[in-house]
Amino acid sequence: MKQNSGAKPAPRSPHLTTAEARRTILESLAPVSGWERVAVRNALGRVLLEDVIAPCNVPAHDNSAMDGYAVRFRDLGARPETALAVVGTAFAGKPFSGIVGAGQAVRIMTGASIPQGADTIVVQEMARAADGQVFIPPGQQAGQNLRRAGEDLALGSVALPAGKRCGPAELGLVASLGIAEVTVRRRLRVAFFSTGDELASIGKPLAPGEVYDSNRYTLFGALSRLGCDMLDMGVVPDNPTALEAAFRSASADADVILTSGGVSVGEADFIRELVNRLGEVAFWKIDIKPGRPMAFGRVGDTWLFGLPGNPVAVLVTFYQFVQDALLVLSGVSPLPEPALFEVPCGEAIRKQAGRREFLRGQLGTVDGRQTVRLAGAQGSGVLRSMSEANCFIVLAEERGDVAAGEAVTVQVFDGLI
């Protein structure tokens, strides 16, 4: 019979799918509690702390949806035409002050308040005007072409819900209610640094074996777009004392620490020991390409995301894990659905089943049909592929090789937000 040797197996990092890693991260997080009042313009990209309740109706008054004539529906007959006397004009912002009486009409412009007495708008293309009169053909509907007060937003209703991240439409919507300030959650403070003895900062020549630190610039760009306050801590060498000092200072200052590099086999061990001393950290192997090794945990009260060092893996893991985590911490609820859709692939792709791949793709039109192709060389260090791509081609874990013409899922980089 085989005997147990008694030796413990070396601890192995758990293997997670992309979905499991996302769920674990997102379930751990809760929004920061600080808030501030900001003027409408400064709310761009910020997250509402509370519902915005409409303090008035939008539109404020019943008004005309078209240029035409304001009439009393009961005056219109079934005869070939009804002749009405035109007694005035209503402009947007300059209402007709009289009352529309029997047999009368008022010329009205789009957006003008409906004059007293009138209840229906006849579009000008349908009417014939001559000698101070207007002739209305039969077949009009009572109440047609009117925009009712409160039709867009009713007084007292929720105009925008808490958790909404404000884009251009939200700024306009708040302004349409006459509101000058809103309450938003405070900005997240994110500290980030690169690790690696081989990294050189830009602006000086490279020594043999060095590479320029590009990840901090990539992360700066990604974090800026999310409206985070940033603390760029530079390059930290692969040495425990320097790393401990960096983690301690970042956790004293920030809500989130993002690092790149130092999580691959051989480098992870001493970061694991260090962070477990200062807080707790889980190292994961995620069934994803690129971006397999990743750390998630906390240093003191500060969340830590230890991203891989390879420049493309940084962006893939940022978009698949970190971005939504930062949105949750910022108070965004519900999270925006990723823009995923299926298109035919313009070329064959080799794929090993068992991991989710995020290839860099170029979505374009071939012979009038949307098609996606690979955006150049796909190595996890080839940042150019990200720059030339406009989407990820997302190949699920179970999928094998893709034949040319087969449908694949794409996740587009930019949307209208």
Residues with Cβ within 8 Å of residue 7, at least 6 apart in sequence: none
Closest CB 230 distance from Mg ion, rounded Å: 22
- Looking at beta carbons only, is 82 or 194 nearer to ligand AMP? 194
> Which does residue 331 touch among Mg ion, ligand AMP, none (CB within 5 to 8 A, set by kind)?
none
Rule CB under 6 A: is residue 198 a binding residue for ligand AMP? yes
Whether 243 and 177 have beta carbons less than 8 Å apart is answered as: no
82 binds ligand AMP (CB under 6 A): no
Enumerate binding residues for Mg ion (CB under 5 A).
196, 261-262, 309
Residue 261 contacts ligand AMP per CB under 6 A: yes
Provide the mask over 296-335, with x wherever binding to ligand AMP is found by CB under 6 A and - wherever it is not: ------------xxxx------------------------
Rank residues 362 and 380 by Cβ distance to ligand AMP and give the closer one: 380
Q: Tokens 């690092």 belong to which residue?
A: 259
Mask for 203-232, x = binds ligand AMP (CB under 6 A):
--------x-xxx-----------------
Site size toward ligand AMP (CB under 6 A) is 18
- Smallest gap from Cβ 169 to ligand AMP, in A, equals 37
Residues 241-260 that bind ligand AMP (CB under 6 A): 260
Question: With binding defined as CB under 6 A, does residue 194 bind ligand AMP?
Answer: yes
Distance between CA 382 and CA 173 in Å, rounded?
A: 42
**150 counts as binding ligand AMP under rule CB under 6 A:** no
Q: Which amino acid is at 60?
A: A
Of 202 and 416, the one with the shorter C-beta distance to ligand AMP is 202
Phi, psi of 181 (to 5 degrees): -140, 145
Closest CA to 96 of 106, 104, 105, 86: 106
Q: Which is nearer to Mg ion, 115 or 261 (CB)?
A: 261
Q: How far apart are CB 347 and ligand AMP at their closest, in Å?
A: 27
The neighbouring-strand residues paired with 120 are 71
Q: Do 299 and 255 contact (CB within 8 A), yes or no?
A: no
Q: Which is nearer to Mg ion, 196 or 293 (CB)?
A: 196
Both tokens of 344, joined, read: 């035919």
For residue 290, state whether it binds ligand AMP (rule: CB under 6 A). Answer: no
Partner that binds at residue 260, options ligand AMP, Mg ion, none, CB closer than 5 to 8 Å by kind = ligand AMP
Amino acid 395 reads L
Nearest CB to Mg ion, comparing residues 115 and 196:
196
Q: Which is nearer to ligand AMP, 163 or 293 (CB)?
A: 293
| Contacts with ligand AMP, residue ranges (CB under 6 A) | 194, 196, 198-199, 211, 213-215, 260-264, 267, 308-311
